[in-house]
Structure 1
Amino acid sequence: MRALLTFLLLATAPLLPALLVTPPAQAEEVVLGLSQDRVAITATFDGSEILIFGAVKREAPIATDAPLEVVVTVSGPSEPVMVRRKEREFGIWVNTDSVAVDSAPSFYAVATSAPFSDALSDTEDLRHKVSIQRAIRSVGATVEGAQAFTEALMRIREDRGFYTLQEEAVALDEQTLFRTALRMPADLIEGEYETRIFLTRAGRVISRYETVIEVNKVGLERFLFNLSREQPAIYGVLALVIAMLSGWGAAALFQMLRDR
């Protein structure tokens, strides 16, 4: 019996440190809040502003002089995009080269508490795909100068308000409380909008938090959207009837005004 106990102790001795040592608690982590976690798209929807706020929870004092920074991203559903180049030939504009972008977010916003390059190193950006350019995935493009097509897509969506980078737009109070507001344009598509919050020091990510904002059509918008997908013939007839009634109503109104 004693020999058996001795054998068991010797066999399990190497495992005792692993069993006794527990993983250390994360020194800093995010406690997050959202002004709203659902966005309803109605017939009169003209955009929305999402307030993202939170606090940094600390288990122990931080022994470093490197300031804490916060990076917030909101990403809409991704989709493949065909980007085409137009050139003028014989007096008319025609499509020439094209590049298929494998995956590009329909909406992407980044807000930081410091200049982007100070808040996040290039290595961490590559790892977490935070910047707008790295959120777009384009592989296998064989057209010469394919990067220019990705840049053109970014420029077009930035001009329309779908892609934004807001440096120093996150207010960080006493290295503990943070808040920022992100504007979402009117013509959003439905889906889950992934929201990520990164805590960084010296450009390195020390903690991250993820949540989701739901964007859905409601009311008349939902009815028309479902009808166009499920009953396209009825939707077409209804659209034609509405157009005819609108034309007739406008003509009747102008006739009434002219007769006065």
Structure 2
Amino acid sequence: MLRLVLILTLFLAVPARAQQEQIVAGMSQNRVAIDATFVGSEILVFGAVKRERPAPDSELGVVVVIEGPTQAITVRRKDRRFGIWINTDEVRVSNVPSFYAVATSGVFDDVVNEEANARRLVSIDEAIWILDRPDIADEQAFVDAVIRIREEADLYTLKESSIDLNQETLFSTAVQLPSNLVEGLYTARIYLTRNGNIVSDHISYVSVQKVGLERWLYNLAHDQPLWYGLLSLAIAIIAGYGASTAFRMFSRG
């Protein structure tokens, strides 16, 4: 009987603890339109921590992750052989986000511990993984190459201590979106941590779409590639003929 009472007590206590702190969040925009004048954008992520009881004494942390559509890519390594550069190894890297931005309220390793990071795939290096290749000894080098290239293009960012946390209740941060965004549905995840452990999370979505002429050309290229190719060829011919005619007129003058 005593064992049954203890089990029921633990069962009832788990939901109460899980809901002790909840995230109430919003974003300045949930739709980004890409047109001919698009040079990037900014999303303001803000929110508050809702509590049913006084805050625990442990240290509070907040992490914001915005992730773009994922895809699998092939990464090749080149080595110099017999005086020329050739592809020697290639690895299929799976689940590669087109965009990945992480913002934290403190130093990343202090806000999210290693176990929580590995379990929830919070950091950039944890979010990317390689399809099994036992013949490649240094698989991580290929992941590092993907991260390095996309960091240089401002597609992968880590902004530590960039979240303003006020009295362990209100938080806000601004995430920069570059001009070379991939169209699709972006996921915005917010994590609340205590002593490095994730205690609550919240998920929102941001739609990134081409509009206007860019939308029409994108649809034409994917839905009717033949007509897109003919249109491109016609534009190239007209532009070349116009440039040639203008050059001859200026030469005669």
The answer to whether the superposition gives a TM-score over 0.5 is yes
Gaps of 5+ in 2: none
1:93 aligned partner: 85
CA distance in 2, matches of 1:50, 1:63: 30
Cα deviation code 1:158-213 (max 9, x no counterpart):
11111111111111112111111111222222211111000111101111001111
In 2 relative to 1, CA 88–63 (structure 1 residues): closer, same or farther, beyond 3 Å? Answer: closer
In 2 relative to 1, CA 63–182 (structure 1 residues): closer, same or farther, beyond 3 Å? Answer: closer
Cα deviation code 1:198-236 (max 9, x no counterpart):
011110111100111111111111111111111111100
2:202 aligned partner: 209
CA distance in 1, matches of 2:170, 2:67: 23
1:219 aligned partner: 212
* Matched letter for residue 46 of structure 1: V
TM-score by length of structure 1 reads 0.87
* Matched letter for residue 45 of structure 2: I
Is residue 222 of structure 2 the alignment partner of residue 229 of structure 1?
A: yes
In 2 relative to 1, CA 21–126 (structure 1 residues): closer, same or farther, beyond 3 Å? Answer: closer
Q: Which moved more, 1:246-255 or 1:129-138?
A: 246-255
Is residue 42 of structure 2 the alignment partner of residue 49 of structure 1?
A: yes
Partner SS, residue 83 of structure 1: strand
TM-score by length of structure 2 reads 0.89
In 2 relative to 1, CA 254–167 (structure 1 residues): closer, same or farther, beyond 3 Å? Answer: farther
Is residue 164 of structure 2 the alignment partner of residue 171 of structure 1?
A: yes
* Matched letter for residue 201 of structure 1: R
1:114 aligned partner: 106
CA distance in 2, matches of 1:50, 1:258: 52
In 2 relative to 1, CA 111–21 (structure 1 residues): closer, same or farther, beyond 3 Å? Answer: closer
CA distance in 2, matches of 1:175, 1:255: 72
2:121 aligned partner: 129
Q: Is the 8 A contact 2:79 2:86 kept in 1?
A: yes
Structure 2 counterparts to residues 72-87 of structure 1, below 5 A: 72-87=64-79
CA distance in 2, matches of 1:219, 1:205: 42
Aligned partner of 1:104 among 96, 99, 106: 96
Gaps of 5+ in 1: 1-12
CA distance in 1, matches of 2:178, 2:84: 33
Aligned residues with identical type, % of pairs: 48
The structure with the largest alpha-carbon Rg is 1
CA distance in 1, matches of 2:248, 2:49: 66
CA distance in 2, matches of 1:258, 1:30: 70
* Matched letter for residue 169 of structure 1: S
